[in-house]
Copies of this chain bind each other. A is one copy, B any other.
Amino acid sequence: MTGLSRLDTERLMELLSVSLGAYYGDFTVAAASESLTASQGRALTVLRRGPAAMRALASTLTCDASNITGIVDRLEKRGLVRREPSASDRRVKNVVLTAEGERVTDAIRARMRATQDGLDRLDDADRERLAELLERVFLAPPQG
């Protein structure tokens, strides 16, 4: 690790900070357009990938498990998710998106115009490069 590379990491950390802020702002406004809080929107986005136990949802959202009860309560009251008992472990409840929940989640993503317009500035080759780099930085195993 050279001194110059260290500086590059600092610059990239700052750039990620600004990028996250822009993305998160875009997301928050889009979620609000569906009368959802940012946390509710994040939960839906995670569940769009598939059902998850309450505990797993808390882990993915990096918050205490006790918070998930209230968030899922409100989403369930609006018919966007439902709790399903696990077949293998009677302590576990799996949270599943309803059809309406899928529709709303997709609507939020479709509303994120600023981010989508940003991505549309890239040509196919640059999209591929960005995808590969993001996977390498954020999806590689922690101790890989």
Query: A residues within 8 Å of B by Cβ?
Result: 1, 4-5, 8-9, 11-13, 15-25, 27-29, 42, 45-46, 60-62, 109, 112, 114-122, 124, 126-131, 133-140, 142
- In the complex, which residues of chain B have a beta carbon less than 8 angstroms from the beta carbon of A140? 118, 121
A131 to B28, CA, bound (A): 24
Copies in the complex: 2
A-B contact pairs, 29 of them (CB 8 A): A5-B124, A8-B124, A8-B127, A8-B128, A9-B120, A9-B127, A12-B130, A13-B109, A13-B116, A15-B131, A16-B115, A16-B134, A17-B45, A18-B138, A18-B139, A20-B20, A20-B27, A21-B42, A21-B60, A21-B61, A22-B138, A24-B24, A114-B142, A118-B137, A121-B137, A122-B136, A126-B136, A129-B133, A130-B133
